[in-house]
């Protein structure tokens, strides 16, 4: 079972990063779902802050609270962006928050799977 979970973990992680925003875009932005999906995928650029870490990638490190653009202050700012009336800013905010949600679930996996 542990081996299955270790294989399933990255599949779930990248599905949440790439496919879940598409589902959200399709459901909530029916007329502009393709644009919304592309914008939400573009918010993955938030991971550029990983370049400031040493090592750049550590599969056992929780990025939430570690990387600057994954800090609790940044996440609070992303949440506040939801209240700006511009639809594109809201889509960016949703993309960033979905990204943080994905990374939080990743932290939970790390806690339980080691």
- At residue 32 the predicted structure's pLDDT band, cuts being 50, 70 and 90, is very high
For residues 73-100, b (16+ Cβ closer than 10 Å) or e, as one string? Answer: ebbeebeebeeeeeeeebbbbbbbbbbb
Neighbours of 114 (CB within 10 A): 8
The predicted-structure confidence for 45-63, as pLDDT tens digits, reads as follows: 999 999 999 999 888 899 9
At 65 the pLDDT is 96
- Residue 3 in this model has a pLDDT that exceeds 90: no
Domain ranges within the chain, ordered by starting residue: 27-53+63-114
């Amino acid at each position: 079972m542990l081996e299955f979970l270790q294989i399933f973990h990255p599949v779930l992680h990248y599905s949440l990063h790439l496919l879940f925003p598409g589902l959200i875009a399709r459901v909530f932005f029916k007329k502009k779902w393709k644009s919304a999906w592309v914008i939400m995928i573009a918010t993955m650029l938030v991971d550029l802050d990983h370049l400031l870490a040493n090592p750049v990638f550590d599969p056992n490190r929780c990025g939430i609270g570690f990387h600057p653009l994954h800090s609790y202050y940044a996440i609070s700012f992303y949440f506040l962006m939801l209240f700006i009336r511009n639809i594109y800013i809201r889509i960016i905010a949703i993309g960033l928050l979905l990204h943080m949600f994905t990374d939080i679930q990743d932290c939970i996996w790390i806690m339980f799977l080691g």
